[in-house]
Chains A and B, each alone.
Chain A
Amino acid sequence: MPRLIQKLVLVLVTAWVLPALADSSLLNVSYDVARDFYKDYNPIFQKYWKARSGESVELKQSHAGSSKQVRAVADGLEADVVTMNQASDVDFLAGKGLVTKDYAKKFPNNASPYTSTMVFIVRKGNPRALQDWADLIKPGVQVILPHPKNTGNGRYSYLAAWGYALRQPGGNDKSAQEFVSKLLRNAPLFASGGRDATTTFMQRKIGDVLVSFESEAELIAREFGKGEFDIIYPSLSILTEFPVAIVDKVVDKKGTRKLAQAYLDYLWSKEGQENAAQNFLRPRDAELLRKYAAQFPAIKTFTVDEVFGGWARATPAHFRDGGTFDQIYQSK
């Protein structure tokens, strides 16, 4: 018995101390559902880096809610790179002087190595026949989405509906606000995050439709089973970008800039792009997108930049105190 305890203690201590022994290391601070992607990506990069430079590198991951993560970086969490699901979170770090202001130009594709889009998840067989955003504002339809004011998923859902309404014939800001207001009236509650919204819809069986990232549908299927729901692609949706950036202040201090640059650059390599596709994130590489066409049906999308002039404008206009969300919500 004491032998067993000794062994157990040894295993626990090594598991905890061992990573601290590697010489060159990189900390990637990221949003919560990105773990699977980077768990698969890290070994790919480690192999590539070993072949290129002969160094073995230790890659550390930190995942939690994205806004909480950037706050922690601003408060001193020594991230070499941040990989987020919303530009406004990286903008926050740029505002604090940790990340360069033109981080979006430092890498191709707006510094977003892969994309996703907002889709509908409906009950098996789509009993309410919900095909497009316009069906979601019909009376009696219950829509589940996370809180638009303070969650990434919620904001993307909100802007997707807004952009859809804007692009309808005769659409303008007023008609878009009217449209989104009807949509929000159909939300029985606002979930506190993507995971919470999923639990509400899948486990508590509340609502007719869940608005979520296409990439998250796969995670939902993994936990709740593929046969439990259908995915519906609306006629038009928002292109969700996942910006990455080097935290200048940290890499300059730690001397890891070259490594950090290579780590993020390699996301655009064939291997990195294929890993995105395998994790149900749409690769930027056109050839790979065709290869995985079966899991990424064609869908018309618009970006936050195109319709809203970037997050730097969209956030104050819609989600700050007194923005359109508050106006709609208070008149509700």
Chain B
Amino acid sequence: MSTSSRLANSEPRWLRRVLIGTGLGFLFLFLALPLLAVFAEAFNGGWSAYIEALKHPEALSAIGLTLFIAVFVLPFNILAGIAAAWTIAKFDFRGKSLLITLIDLPFAVSPVVVGLVFLLIFGAQGAFGPWFAAHDIKVVFALPGMIIVTLFITFSFVARELIPLMQAQGRDEEEAAISLGASGWKMFFRVTLPNIKWGLLYGVILANARAMGEFGAVSVVSGHIRGETNTLPLHVEILYNEYNAVGAFAAASVLALLALVTLVAKTIVEWQMRKETEMLDAALPPEAVRNQE
């Protein structure tokens, strides 16, 4: 720690200023400015036009649908994420690295491709499409398809957040609980879950942000039916293409607000996580801390 700070101080003052200036400049140019532009465009027609655009039934239904999908995929993400992370972090088995790779797949595949893949599977010209059509079950161009692609896209977040955390914690505490006679569920709820709760929340927040903002994959399977399968990001694009800039940016500002709320929540969770680790470190005897490092 001390060496690195000495190194940092040894840079000439002008260089430090240039570097900091560049960093802040980029931050302003690529983060603050676009965000300001969204709100500036949204309020271009004044407050009443802004409210009018958001009060439109199609806008309200887009907001409702976006929130519904986000909330709906949440429990699946939590369950699947914990199960996957648990399996990988606490057990050794053959094919483990393959499983890790598979979990990363949604990060690696372009969302449009994800949408097209599900279209190929469930679309009318796809593998299972005719069967679904014959049984009058709508998957693509309806809510189920949109939920499925959102699930796929957001699947990795919780697992990715939990795996390193669970690996770092090891299985000592769980083994202790079992040897003291706790049942599997009891161990999970009394030992594992409290240990991972902040990491879990963090993953959930990220997955949620992605679920609400997803465009590419959802666009392919949505069918763009107004008031029915139009999510907020799709609504933004369509209004923009219809020369309705105020409406488009008003909807975009709602997405931006959701993002800001996410960021605040994320910061609070990060802060809680750090506080808890610090408390843990303080509670442990010095040699234990040294062993941890």
| Residues of A participating in the B interface, judged by any CB pair closer than 8 Å | 11-13, 15-16, 19-20, 27, 29, 32-33, 35-36, 60-64, 69, 72, 74-78, 193, 195, 198, 219-220, 222-223
Query: Provided the pairs A63-B224, A72-B223, A78-B141 are in contact, do residues A16 and B64 lie with their beta carbons within 8 angstroms?
Result: yes
Contact of A75 among B61, B140, B240, B244 (CB under 8 A): B140
Closest to B145 in A: A76
Q: Is B225 an interface residue (CB 8 A)?
A: yes
Q: Is B123 an interface residue (CB 8 A)?
A: yes
Q: For the complex formed, measure the closest distance between the CB of B120 and the CB atoms of chain A, giving whole angstroms.
A: 9
Q: Is B28 an interface residue (CB 8 A)?
A: no
Q: Which residues of B contact A193 (CB under 8 A)?
A: 241
Query: Provided the pairs A11-B60, A12-B60, A72-B141 are in contact, do residues A62 and B241 lie with their beta carbons within 8 angstroms?
Result: no
A12 touches B242 (CB 8 A): no
A76 touches B225 (CB 8 A): no
Closest to B136 in A: A253
Chain B 27-69 interface mask (CB, 8 Å, partner A; 1/0): 0000000000000000000000000000001001101110110
Query: Provided the pairs A32-B241, A33-B241, A60-B227 are in contact, do residues A15 and B60 lie with their beta carbons within 8 angstroms?
Result: yes
Q: Which residues of B contact A76 (CB under 8 A)?
A: 122-125, 129, 133, 140-141
Q: Is B226 an interface residue (CB 8 A)?
A: yes
Give the complex CA separation of A77 and B245 in angstroms.
Answer: 28
Closest to A20 in B: B228
Contact of B224 among A16, A20, A62, A195 (CB under 8 A): A62
Q: For the complex formed, measure the closest distance between the CB of B263 and the CB atoms of chain A, giving whole angstroms.
A: 21
Q: Which residues of A contact B63 (CB under 8 A)?
A: 12
Q: For the complex formed, measure the closest distance between the CB of B144 and the CB atoms of chain A, giving whole angstroms.
A: 12
Q: How large is the interface on B (under 10, 10 to 19, 20 to 34, 35 or more residues)?
A: 20 to 34
Q: For the complex formed, measure the closest distance between the CB of A146 and the CB atoms of chain B, giving whole angstroms.
A: 12
Closest to A220 in B: B243
Give the complex CA separation of A179 and B188 in angstroms.
Answer: 76
Contact of A33 among B57, B67, B133, B242 (CB under 8 A): B242
Give the complex CA separation of A223 and B248 in angstroms.
Answer: 12
Q: Which residues of A contact B114 (CB under 8 A)?
A: none
Q: Is B119 an interface residue (CB 8 A)?
A: yes
Give the complex CA separation of A62 and B61 in angstroms.
Answer: 14
Q: Which residues of A contact B125 (CB under 8 A)?
A: 74-76
Q: A63-B238, A64-B224 are in contact. List 20 more A-B contacts (CB 8 A).
A: A15-B60, A19-B228, A20-B228, A27-B225, A33-B241, A62-B223, A63-B242, A74-B124, A75-B119, A75-B126, A76-B124, A76-B140, A77-B140, A77-B223, A78-B138, A193-B241, A195-B240, A195-B241, A198-B243, A223-B245
Q: For the complex formed, measure the closest distance between the CB of A85 and the CB atoms of chain B, giving whole angstroms.
A: 13
A12 touches B241 (CB 8 A): no
Of all A-B residue pairs in the complex, the 4 with the closest CB atoms, nearest first, are: A76-B124, A12-B64, A75-B123, A15-B60
